[in-house]
Amino acid sequence: MRAAVLRCAGTNCERETVVALERAGARTDLLHVRQLYDAPARLGEYRLVVFPGGFSHGDHIGAGRIQGLETRLHLLDALRSLVERGGLVLGICNGFQVLVKCGLLPGLRPGAIDATLAANDSGRYEDRWVRLRVEDSRASWLPRGTILELPSAHGEGKFLARDARVLEEIERERLVAFRYVGPSGEAATYPWNPSGSQGGIAGLCDPTGRILGLMPHPDRNFLFHHAPDWTRGGERREGAGAELFRALVSAAQG
C-alpha cells in the first residue's frame, strides 16, 4: 500500500510521520506539495495521503491557512477522487488545520468552510500530554472506545463550529472521531482539554469516514520510549500512536 506524506515550507513532523507509516506497513513517499500542484493526478498513485504537523508557511495569517488555501485551489478535486476510490486522507495538528481550512473537514457540505481551529483559550502555545477517547464515528475503522495518550503541541487548536446548528450537525452525523477526556475518562477541562475546544473535540472525520484530522500527535508516540513514563511502562512494546497508524494503513488497503 502506497502512502504520500506532503510537506511544504514550515512543516517539521514529516520524517517521523514517514517512519510511523512505514512501521505500520505502508510504502511511503515524502513529497513537496509543489510536486503535486502542477500535477495533481499523481495522487492517483496513492491510497493514503497525510498532511503532517508543523507550522506551514510560518502560520502567517493563521495556522494552516495558506496551505489550506493552496490545497483548496490545487488539490481539492484530486483528494476527493482519492477518497471516492476508497483511499484515506489524514491531517495531524497543522495538517488538521489545513483540512479544516480547505473545506474537507467537517465536510457537511461540499466546499463549505463550516469550522475553524482558533487560538487556545489560554492565549499561549500548549505543549503537553493529553488523553483522547476514540468516539463512535463514521470512521468505523478506528478502535472505538480506546483511550490514547498523545502529546499535543499547538497555539491554535480550539475547534469552533461556525454556529450552533453546525456543531449539532457534527455531533448528530457522528463526525467527532476523538474527544479530550480527563484522567478518569471524564469530560475534559483545562489542561486536559488544552485549547478549550467545543465539546472537547480533538479530531473529526468527514461523512465518508475516510478523511480524518486530529490535533494531538500520534507521530510523536508510536515507539514505546516516546512516552514520558516509558521506564515505568512494564511490558509495553509501542506507543499509543502505533495502533492508530496500523488501523489507518489497514483501512487504506481496503
* pLDDT string in tens for the chain (254-residue length): 999 999 999 999 999 999 999 999 999 999 999 999 999 999 999 999 999 999 999 998 899 999 999 999 999 999 999 999 999 999 999 999 999 999 999 999 988 999 999 999 999 999 999 999 999 999 999 999 999 999 999 999 999 999 999 999 999 999 999 999 999 999 999 999 999 999 999 999 999 999 999 999 999 999 988 988 887 766 678 999 999 999 999 999 97
What single-letter DSSP state applies at residue 11?
Answer: B
- What integer pLDDT is reported at residue 228 of this predicted model? 84
- 8 A C-beta contact, residue 216 and residue 240: no
- What integer pLDDT is reported at residue 254 of this predicted model? 78
- Give the residue from 212, 234, 226, 254 showing the smallest Cα distance to 23: 226
CA–CA gap between residue 178 and residue 148 (Å, rounded):
9
The residue with cell 489497514 is: 250
**How far is the CA of 163 from the CAs of 82, 116, 167, 210, in angstroms?**
30, 11, 6, 24
Read off the CATH number of the domain in which 164 is found: 3.40.50.880
| Residue 139, C-alpha cell as written in the block | 470512521
- What integer pLDDT is reported at residue 231 of this predicted model? 79
Structural domain of 229: 2-253
Exposure string for 91-128, b = 16+ CB within 10 A, e = fewer: bbbbbbbbbbbbbbbbbbeeeeebbbbbbbeeeeebee
- What integer pLDDT is reported at residue 241 of this predicted model? 96
What total number of domains does the chain contain?
Answer: 1
- What integer pLDDT is reported at residue 233 of this predicted model? 66
CA–CA gap between residue 229 and residue 135 (Å, rounded):
25
CA–CA gap between residue 124 and residue 219 (Å, rounded):
23
- What integer pLDDT is reported at residue 176 of this predicted model? 98
CA–CA gap between residue 217 and residue 13 (Å, rounded):
9
| Cβ contacts of 114 within 8 Å, gap of 6 or more | 106, 108, 161, 162, 166
